Amino acid sequence: MDEKAVMKELPAVRKLVYGNLMETYLPFPVDMKASSRWAVEADVPRNTDTIIFTSHMYQMGSMFKNYEKYIPLFTKLGGSKMIASVGSRLIKTDKSEAERSTRILKNIYSMLLKSGIKCGYLYEDEPYSGSLLLELGFVDEFMEYGRKLLSLFKSRGVKNIYTVDPHTTNSLTNLKKMIGFDIKSTPYLNAISGTNGSGKFVLHDSCLYSRFLGMYDDVRLVAKNAGIELLEDPDVTGKSTSFCCGGPIGPVNAEISSKVASLRVKQLNTVSDTILVVCPLCYENLSEFGNVKDIAEVMA
């Protein structure tokens, strides 16, 4: 493998992501108005001690992938903040993607409300979880940013967090162990009830939910209770046999990331043509090769 390229790229990625996070709570420039549109439309309250923490994951899903394409350029130019801000002008979420993420987040919020959970949102103050640092192995930087994140939540009086994606959930779980992050957090999938859904799918498990956070059965139960039919094949959807969408390796090697995504879709399509995911990054990676829906698009 081209490890030399990785050794050149990683410092630039660190400089860019960590630098931006410590300054702005975001890995790269994000249009905060667009990111919080869903909350405006759903009239989500501010200043509550229970919040929904999107970590911008649905809103930025496609941007993560687009930024990966520019990593070699950032590396050449040194990964400065200026370059990142140029990048933000080049890299935008397109209208249909923005509408999709707005729909999904409004629906997640509505499912929480329906389940008797009232929560607010931090709007323009909403931070990113830092998961990219953790997943790329910048553990020291992740912990440092985690302390900043904890401080932010405490300064806003946050006592209870509902997460919407596996990467954020995993980050907060790790921060609990690493720095004593002591704010309760719950994945929304473990909090909702009384939902209705439809369709027949093969589920592509999130690696983090199923193999790191112990939610392999929980996700299936949520889908089943909503009336969604999941098709299983022990060689494809088993806890130990299913595998990654390729997303996490994107910033290191886009080619392998794409190859893994394509292999995974090929495998999933032996079970069903329609794939269900529970993670915005899985959606981004797999939808290039197949027909993919997020679970929050098929139940309410």
Partner 1 sequence: MNWTDVADLVIKGNNREVEHVLKNYPYIPAIAEDLRKKKLQVLEDLPRYIQETMKNVEKLGGHAYLARDADEARKIIGKIVSTKKTVVFSKSNVAYEIGLREFLQETGNDAWETDLGEYLVQLQNGWPAHIVAPAIDLTREDAATLVSRIDKNITKDSKIEDIVAAVRKFLMDKYIKADVGITGANAVAADSGSIALVENEGNIRIDSVLPQTHISVTGIDKIVPTLPDALNEIYVQSAYAGLFPPTYINITSGPSSTGDIELKRVSPATGPKDFHLVLIDNGRLNASRDEKIKEALLCIKCGRCYLACPVYRAIGKEWISTKSPYGGPTGVMWNYITNNDPWPASFCMHSGGCSEVCPMKIDIPTVIREIKSRGNRTLS
Question: What residue ranges bind partner 1 (CB under 8 A)?
Answer: 1, 3, 6-7, 10-11, 14, 134-140, 207-208, 210-212, 234-235, 238-244, 246-249, 252-253, 256-257, 259-260, 263-264, 267
> Would you say 208 or 298 has its CB closer to partner 1?
208
In the complex with partner 1, the residue whose CB is nearer, 155 or 240, is 240
Residue 111 CB, shortest distance to partner 1, in Å, is 27
Q: How far is the CB of 5 from partner 1 (least distance, A)?
A: 10
To the nearest whole angstrom, how small is the minimum distance from the Cβ of residue 198 to partner 1? 30
- Nearer to partner 1 among residue 40 and residue 77 (C-beta): 77
Residue whose CB is less far from partner 1, 100 or 204: 204
Question: Residue 154 CB, nearest distance to partner 1 (Å)?
Answer: 27
Q: What is the CB neighbour count within 10 angstroms for residue 206?
A: 29
Which two three-digit tokens encode residue 292?
Answer: 């993919």
CB of 272 to partner 1, least distance (A): 18
Question: Distance (Å, rounded) from C-alpha 139 to C-alpha 142?
Answer: 5
Q: In terms of CB distance, is 31 or 218 closer to partner 1?
A: 218
